[in-house]
Structure 1
Amino acid sequence: MPLNRSPEGDDTLMPQPATTPNSRATTDALIKYRRDIADLKQRIKNRRLQVVGLYGTPISLVLLILGWTGLKVLFWLESAIPNAIDNALTGFLFFLGIATVAQFAAEFVEDSPWKDSRTPVRKLKLDLELAEERRILEARKLTPPALDRQASYKERMPGEVARLRNESRHYRRVHLFLQWMLFVSSAAISAVTAWFDPPQPAKGVLIALGFTVTVITAAAGYFKPRERAFNLQQTADSMEQHITAIELGISPYDQADDKANLESFATTVEGIRSEQRMREQQLDQPQQGQHEVI
């Protein structure tokens, strides 16, 4: 059984109440609602892909036949189409035909392998809205006490820190890739200019390199991957510092009352996350808008 210090702050260890069957049932019910909502969201995504394939494949088949006919009329009216083009078009035509038949069979057979065959996407969206409304209504009756929610929030934070670090590494890689491309392209412009005296092929190479430098510079200035990586890493480090502090029971979470520690932890971490969202919004704004926000 877990032990805790007494509210007076002395060294007396007091037993914490064990998890009751009622609280376990409440947790299981809330998890079930969230699982049902996640399942409906995935079913909507799958159904959209099925509908796109069901109607897009035969349309592509018709367009391919029309394009094939157009090629024959425009370029090879008096002669045969080259074998390479003819074989490629035949292969695409065969593939689209098989895909069309397979998708229509999966949609309309009795024992369809598709879970939501012959089900409109709007019906699944309505089911999702009803499930979310049901979860909200039931959560009012099943919501655990604030102390339990704060403890659960603390346990979720290591995953949030890992997510922030992964995003930070992603933007750092993007920034390094753009910088190396910029370095190589800028150096290549000078090298090509010094190496080639005739206008061609140096002219085309220089145009391509200049275009690359311009695009990279504009992309780095607009998306700001370096700044995003720095902000995400800073937020992750700050959150990890508070997680370590509350796990070890050190300042500022060294009070005798665990409820006060958890409340202070949740308030502090939410403030850090709010600052991170504000920094992201500032990076998404134009330069003039950033100065106005700051």
Structure 2
Amino acid sequence: MVTDALIEHRREIADLKQRIKNRRLQMIGLYGTPIAVVPVLLAWAGLKVFRWLHVDTPGAINGIFGGTVFVLGALSAAQMLMEFSSLWGLWEDRKTPVRELRLELSLAEERHILEARRRTPPPMDRQASYGERMSGEVARLRKESRHYRRMHLAMQWLLFFGSASISAVTAWYDPPQPAKGILIALGFTVTVITAAAGYFKPRERSFNLQQTADNIEQHSTALELGIAPYNLIEEGRNLELFATTVEGLRAEQRMREQQLDQPQQGQQQVI
């Protein structure tokens, strides 16, 4: 009964968070689509004035801009109907401000906290539940590690190709006047990627996440097999030690992330 009540509260909170995301997208589309028509019309008029002032605008240009305006107008009308008409009923929270949904979310989170405090299970049960959740935490850390590893590899390959292309284009065009624009673009790309790799440090982030995931998995396996340091006679002591150790590993991971987010001078001061 206690578990079902807490699960129901969490389900309500997750549902409200999703509704807030959906409502934000709805508001962006509702007000952004009509606004997007304005720059399209200005671009159409600007081309007419500066490019084809004394002649007819090509039919292809008129078709592209006219079709874009028609599509944006149709989308805007459809969204207006879904927002202000009850005939379709496709939008769950139509005419509902985002701040009202946020208030509902805050109240739901408060109810969840109060219910959890009122029906708090014993420490041993919470520790056992904590151990069961670690598989999901390990999967999350490894997923983020793969993300940063792929980002690092993509940046490195772009740097390889960019640097090689600069040398190749320079050697092909001598003097490099016909390919000046290409060289500028390649040099700009290499500079931006180098700066981004130095700022975001995806390789270091991937290594830290993978290391934390491996350490947590090692402790989870030791707890499951009952080997050192989780070979104590009392199961409660093993669970308490496991929770303390894993929280320490997670705190170290957060500290490393904060050090990576700091400037180089700040990192040296922290170290």
TM range (shorter): over 0.9
1:43 matched to 2:13? The reply is: no
Q: What is the TM-score with the length of structure 2 in the denominator? A: 0.93
Work out which of the residue numbers 93, 118, 123 in structure 1 matches 2:69. 93
Higher helix share: 2
The DSSP-based 3-state class of the residue aligned with 2:139 is: helix
- 2:257 and 2:113 map into 1 onto residues whose CA distance is 29
1:129 matched to 2:106? The reply is: yes
Give the CA deviation at 1:62: 4.4
| Partner of residue 195, structure 1 | 172
| Partner of residue 148, structure 2 | 171
Q: Which letter does structure 2 place at the counterpart of 1:100?
A: S
Larger radius of gyration: 1
1:59 matched to 2:29? The reply is: no
Give the 3 Å change call, closer, same or farther, for CA 187–104 of structure 1 in structure 2: closer
Unpaired segments ≥5 residues, structure 1: 1-24
Work out which of the residue numbers 11, 25, 28 in structure 1 matches 2:4. 28
Q: Which letter does structure 2 place at the counterpart of 1:245?
A: A
Give the CA deviation at 1:71: 4.0
- 1:29 and 1:55 map into 2 onto residues whose CA distance is 39
| Partner of residue 183, structure 1 | 160
Deviations 1:31-86 (A, max 9, x none): 11111011111111111111121122222234434543454445444432210110
1:138 matched to 2:115? The reply is: yes
- 1:219 and 1:166 map into 2 onto residues whose CA distance is 21
Give the CA deviation at 1:248: 0.3
Q: What is the TM-score with the length of structure 1 in the denominator? A: 0.86
Bigger CA drift: 57-66 or 124-133? 57-66
Give the 3 Å change call, closer, same or farther, for CA 110–205 of structure 1 in structure 2: closer
1:155 matched to 2:135? The reply is: no
Work out which of the residue numbers 73, 86, 97 in structure 2 matches 1:120. 97
Bigger CA drift: 188-197 or 87-96? 188-197
- 2:204 and 2:42 map into 1 onto residues whose CA distance is 50
The DSSP-based 3-state class of the residue aligned with 2:231 is: coil
Q: Which letter does structure 1 place at the counterpart of 2:157?
A: W
Q: Which letter does structure 2 place at the counterpart of 1:95?
A: V
- 2:54 and 2:171 map into 1 onto residues whose CA distance is 51
| Partner of residue 290, structure 1 | 267
1:252 matched to 2:194? The reply is: no
1:81 matched to 2:65? The reply is: no
Question: Would you say the 8 A contact 2:82–2:90 is kept in 1?
Answer: yes
1:68 matched to 2:44? The reply is: yes
Work out which of the residue numbers 266, 286, 290 in structure 1 matches 2:243. 266
1:237 matched to 2:214? The reply is: yes
- 1:215 and 1:98 map into 2 onto residues whose CA distance is 39
| Partner of residue 22, structure 1 | none
Work out which of the residue numbers 106, 120, 127 in structure 1 matches 2:82. 106
Q: How big is the alpha-carbon RMSD for the aligned residues of Structure 1 and Structure 2?
A: 1.7
Give the 3 Å change call, closer, same or farther, for CA 235–84 of structure 1 in structure 2: same
The DSSP-based 3-state class of the residue aligned with 1:222 is: helix
Question: Would you say the 8 A contact 2:170–2:176 is kept in 1?
Answer: no
- 1:57 and 1:65 map into 2 onto residues whose CA distance is 13
Unpaired segments ≥5 residues, structure 2: none
Bigger CA drift: 148-157 or 194-203? 194-203
1:214 matched to 2:191? The reply is: yes
- 1:84 and 1:204 map into 2 onto residues whose CA distance is 29
Deviations 1:132-154 (A, max 9, x none): 11111121101211111111110
Give the 3 Å change call, closer, same or farther, for CA 115–268 of structure 1 in structure 2: same
Bigger CA drift: 37-46 or 90-99? 90-99
Give the 3 Å change call, closer, same or farther, for CA 226–89 of structure 1 in structure 2: same
